[in-house]
Amino acid sequence: PNDNRLKKRRTMTSVRLCLLAALLGCSASECSAFAPSSAGGVVRRSTAPALRMSSSSADDRSDASSVSVSSRRAFFRDSAAASASAASAVLLSSPSASYAAATPPTSDELKRIKTGHDGILYLLDNWDKETTVCRENGGECKRDADAVRKYLGLRSTTDPLFQIEKVFNKVKYMDLDPDKLDDFFEAAENWNSAMNMSNSMAFISQFGEYNPGGGKDEVLKYLNEAYKQVVDAEKNLKIIMECLDIA
């Protein structure tokens, strides 16, 4: 009976030690290091290197985890700093679009208004000549409204009044007499309306001869309507020049 109790005690001790070894990270083969001896005691085989290695591995994993967290933090910190630096560089190196638009018209842009107005006066004074096209060598002559679109800046980017409304939009950034602002904006609106109507009448006139029921009389009819709108456009452009002190 004493031998049986001794065997059971050894067995329980071996199980407890194996469980402890498992918790410490020992492998199954290393559990045999805690096998009971035949003398009734427990002989602990040399497992210090393995335990130290296991402890070292745990420390390495802990260090690796710490390094990984530190690396991620450093990465995001450096990335944020780089982004802020790049954004600052962009803002400092080039003006924003809003700032570029918030500038008064240049002297060259104001001269375009004067040049365009002179062109419209010439068109009105030489209306029949400018709106008549003759074939070479004494050929047939016909009325052509294309010159109207040219003098109003609607045909080519090189025309003085091409997209002149962009220049008008910059006037609000000028040091202008407040009493003239209302007159300017009203004249600019009327100019835009007259210019669009002139363009429409001129376009219809160019194809009036080929439309059903059309002919030379239809061409002349819409050409005369275009003339009225050009007169109105010139009047409002002159008001704009007076408001901007363009001589």
* Residues 6+ away with beta carbon under 8 Å from 23: none
pLDDT above 60 (res 181): yes
Secondary structure element (H or E) that encloses residue 133, with its range: strand 132-134
pTM, 2 dp: 0.59
**Distances from the Cα of 47 to the Cαs of 43, 52, 120, in angstroms?**
11, 8, 106
Q: Which pLDDT score is estimated for 21?
A: 54
What number is the average pLDDT over the span 82-108?
60
The C-alpha atoms of residue 99 and residue 217 are separated, in whole angstroms, by 52
Q: Which pLDDT score is estimated for 14?
A: 61
Q: Which pLDDT tens digit goes with each residue over 18-37?
A: 555 555 554 444 444 444 44
Q: Which pLDDT score is estimated for 179?
A: 87
